[in-house]
Amino acid sequence: MKPMRRYSTREAVDFAVIGAGAAGGVVASELAKAGFSTVVLEQGPWLQQKDFAHDELAVMQRSLYINDHRKQPNTFRRRPEEQAKVQPAIEYARMVGGGSVHFTANYWRFHPNDFRERSLFGGVPGADLRDWPIPYDELEPYYTRAEWELGIAGQAGANPFDGPRSKPYPLPPLPVKSSGVLLDRAAKKLGLHSYPAPMAILSQPYRGRAACSECGYCEAFGCEMGAKSSTLAALIPGAVATGNCEIRPHSYVQRIETGADGRVNGVLYCDARRRTLRQRAKAVVVCANGAETPRLLLLSASKQHPQGLANGNGLVGKYLMFDTGIFVHGVFAKPLNEYKGAVVSRVIQDYYAADPKRGFYGGAGLDARYDLYPMTFALDGMPKDEPQWGAEWKKNIGYRYTRMMGILAHLSCLAVERNSISLDPEVKDAWGLPAIRVTFENHADDLKNMQWAADRSKEVLDAAGAEKIWQDKVASMTYSLHLMGTCRMGDDPRHSVVNRWHRSHDVKNLFLVDGSSLVTCGRQQPTATIQALAFRAAEHMAKAARNGELA
């Protein structure tokens, strides 16, 4: 392979992309393929397949891949009137490929109704439930592109609640696991519809990449086979091969710079040797995720944008949505060995749509899994009313590890204005920049939905024949793996940060493309939607650049 093209920091490249994650990887590769000079600044390292290992201690307990809270702390509070305390509340992978490298790889499309829930359900007091500026049909071709470019395994038409699709999945579903067989049985008894999980994992070799070896280390880990369809494995190599794309790892962007005309013209970043460098660019695309994107915009306040970049209406950072869900545990008579293979093989979406008859807003997508690695299982896997150490506990963990399966209910999370990302007034990161302050408390309807979904999950586990069932506690979430909705998209500049093309209402040559754009969060599993939006946004950016709109 040719060596990667390098750009000078003084040269104004066509696009500076901040963050090489799920969305950033898509945007960079699409822009480079369209012929634009693109520099991608990623704060984390550029790891390769050979760097990934089955090491639960390092990955799960010592923040090997995620944002290290010792260096990049955040503070947390439930409500704005409280004093925020240092307490880890957000998690994302800090590396080239971002969250697409370590995600569990559930790849759900949103339903057509997700884009118009306000119209269908009506308003919810205390929340700002809104329709999206675009309908499902407009995004459908890009879901299809994402599925084919990245390599998604699934069975078209198997989920009766899915929207229409223009093409089947490029790969057949992964083989069913014991949890999937049990979910199928339970669904049949209860009159529900279980279907093969759509997964960003190769069930067969695809475009030069190897198929999954079923090692079981998907969630939170990087794939040693390159079989997980991360942007790192599926897109970055092609982007670099165009000769128009430079990936610059260990580049922590600390400020986006504005010219006298109010437009952005470059970014300041800190490299591995802690030098501060300036990359000049004709346009800037921020793909730093739902937590870091609003932070960077707020850090980039200037004379022209005193409240922060793209923040004329004060909405940057607001309407944060968390990864809301509840887990119900089941123990079965015979071994399932759920630790082997991809995490999920079957899903049920019968309870997905919100129904006013339930008396609250909310819905659930249920999947069958048991995703605790040995250490995490022993630390947190047993019910809290049982011993947590000693001989009896040891016997329980020994008997149960292979015999467990749970239902994870992936839930709606209402957008509430006071739930937000802001800059902490006191706490700083290891570079001396203000830390993220998270303010988050689930809306009351989210909590009602949580117990309702736990009850449905119990019915499913019961119908599947579980010997013992227990649920996690219903409580407002304090930690999130999905970071969504802090720079909402919309047509009305009074109520949104970016327009339907992800372009800032305030700054013409600034685009925000990642989880921050989401208006609602479906029933979690946002990555398919984030990436479909990224394909669509990149196409628009290329067009705008060709038309001279960004020069």
Ligand X SMILES: Cc1cc2nc3c(=O)[nH]c(=O)nc-3n(C[C@H](O)[C@H](O)[C@H](O)COP(=O)(O)OP(=O)(O)OC[C@H]3O[C@@H](n4cnc5c(N)ncnc54)[C@H](O)[C@@H]3O)c2cc1C
Residues near other proteins (CB under 8 A) are 54-57, 61-62, 175-178, 181-182, 185, 213-216, 224, 332, 334-341, 374-375, 377-379, 388-391, 394-395, 397-398, 401-402
CA distance 390 to 120: 53
- Of the two residues 26 and 461, which places its CB atom closer to ligand X in the complex? 26
244: Cβ–Cβ under 8 A, 6 or more apart, which residues?
5, 31, 32, 33, 35, 36, 37, 38
510-512 and 276-286 beta bridge pairing: parallel
Q: At what angle do helices 178-190 and 444-463 cross, to 10 degrees?
A: 100
Q: How far is the CB of 63 from ligand X (least distance, A)?
A: 12
What residues numbered 244-273 form the site for ligand X, per CB under 6 A? 252-253
Closest residue by Cα to residue 230 from 535, 517, 53, 26: 26
- Of the two residues 214 and 462, which places its CB atom closer to other proteins in the complex? 214
Judged by CB under 6 A, does residue 482 bind ligand X?
A: yes
Judged by CB under 6 A, does residue 88 bind ligand X?
A: no
Q: How far is the CB of 397 from other proteins (least distance, A)?
A: 6
Residue 500 in tokens:
């339907």
Judged by CB under 6 A, does residue 21 bind ligand X?
A: yes
Q: How many CA atoms lie within 13 A of 320 on its CB side?
A: 34
Backbone angles phi, psi at 452, to 5 degrees: -60, -45
Q: How far is the CB of 378 from other proteins (least distance, A)?
A: 5
- Of the two residues 62 and 188, which places its CB atom closer to ligand X in the complex? 62
- Sole binder of ligand X in the list 13, 16, 18, 328 (CB under 6 A): 18
- Sole binder of ligand X in the list 38, 244, 289, 311 (CB under 6 A): 289
Q: How far is the CB of 399 from other proteins (least distance, A)?
A: 9
116: Cβ–Cβ under 8 A, 6 or more apart, which residues?
131, 132, 135
326's contact among ligand X, other proteins, none, with CB below 5 to 8 A by partner kind, is none
Residue 291 in tokens:
């937590």
- Sole binder of ligand X in the list 15, 32, 90, 102 (CB under 6 A): 102
What residues numbered 197-226 form the site for ligand X, per CB under 6 A? 219-220
Task: Give the residues across from 78 on adjacent strands.
Answer: none
530's contact among other proteins, ligand X, none, with CB below 5 to 8 A by partner kind, is ligand X
Backbone angles phi, psi at 503, to 5 degrees: -95, 135
Q: Report the amino acid identity of residue 478.
A: T
- Sole binder of ligand X in the list 33, 94, 109, 228 (CB under 6 A): 94
What residues numbered 509-548 form the site for ligand X, per CB under 6 A? 514-515, 525-527, 530
Judged by CB under 6 A, does residue 481 bind ligand X?
A: yes
100's contact among other proteins, ligand X, none, with CB below 5 to 8 A by partner kind, is ligand X
Judged by CB under 6 A, does residue 99 bind ligand X?
A: yes
CA distance 549 to 545: 6
Strand, helix or coil for residue 83: coil
- Of the two residues 260 and 333, which places its CB atom closer to other proteins in the complex? 333
CA distance 215 to 225: 10
- Of the two residues 285 and 287, which places its CB atom closer to ligand X in the complex? 287
Residue 243 in tokens:
């000769």
- Sole binder of ligand X in the list 14, 31, 44, 322 (CB under 6 A): 44
- Of the two residues 210 and 427, which places its CB atom closer to other proteins in the complex? 210
CA distance 476 to 77: 12
Q: How far is the CB of 324 from ligand X (least distance, A)?
A: 13
CA distance 405 to 254: 43
| CA dist 197 → 175, 346, 417, 492, 549 (Å) | 10, 5, 33, 36, 42
26: Cβ–Cβ under 8 A, 6 or more apart, which residues?
146, 149, 231, 235, 531, 534, 535, 538
- Of the two residues 44 and 362, which places its CB atom closer to ligand X in the complex? 44
Q: How far is the CB of 2 from ligand X (least distance, A)?
A: 25
Q: Which stretch binds ligand X (CB under 6 A): 48-56, 93-101, 398-406, 487-495?
A: 93-101
Backbone angles phi, psi at 481, to 5 degrees: -100, -20
| CA dist 338 → 204, 311, 547 (Å) | 21, 46, 53
Judged by CB under 6 A, does residue 147 bind ligand X?
A: no
- Of the two residues 303 and 334, which places its CB atom closer to other proteins in the complex? 334
Q: What is the dihedral of CA 486, 490, 492, 497, to 10 degrees?
A: 30
- Of the two residues 62 and 543, which places its CB atom closer to other proteins in the complex? 62
Cβ proximity of 368 and 332 under 8 Å: no
Closest residue by Cα to residue 87 from 431, 478, 422: 478
Judged by CB under 6 A, does residue 450 bind ligand X?
A: no
65's contact among other proteins, ligand X, none, with CB below 5 to 8 A by partner kind, is none
Judged by CB under 6 A, does residue 312 bind ligand X?
A: no
Residues that bind ligand X (CB under 6 A): 18-24, 41-44, 91-92, 94-95, 98-100, 102-106, 219-220, 252-253, 287-289, 292, 296, 481-482, 514-515, 525-527, 530
